Amino acid sequence: MACYAVFVFSSITPGQEIEEYATRVDETVQPFGGRFLVRGGDFTLLEGEWPGPAVVIAFEDRSAAQAWYDSAAYRRILPLRLRNSSANAVLIDGVGSDAS
């Protein structure tokens, strides 16, 4: 079952470190079969509150998503994001093909 890494940002501080993170994160995702489905982009708020930009990365399953997040390659660049942004982050399972 697919698993998604979802990040919803409440703040991002522009600068060299966050730009470096954005440039390098792709190379950490690819070895785990991840692909970006959402990377910022315009949105229309339909209900409730939404703090800011979102990122959604699809993985084949939860183990691949968790392995990416725990990988040495991602852990090397993670401080760049953590020092320069505030976000809620989750891994969330998709639905199977038999869902209705």
pLDDT the model gives residue 53:
95
Instruction: Answer yes or no: pTM beyond 0.75.
Output: yes
- Residue range 71-98, pLDDT digits in tens: 999 999 999 999 999 999 999 999 876 6
Instruction: Find residue 3's DSSP bridge partners.
Output: 59, 93
Q: List the beta strands (DSSP E) in 1-100.
A: 3-12, 35-39, 54-59, 85-93
Compute and round to an integer the Cα radius of gyration of the chain: 14
Task: Please determine, for residue 99, whether its predicted confidence score (pLDDT) is greater than 60.
Answer: no
Which CATH number does the domain 3-43+51-93 belong to among 3.30.70.100, 1.10.10.10, 3.40.50.300, 3.20.20.70?
Answer: 3.30.70.100
pLDDT of residue 74: 98
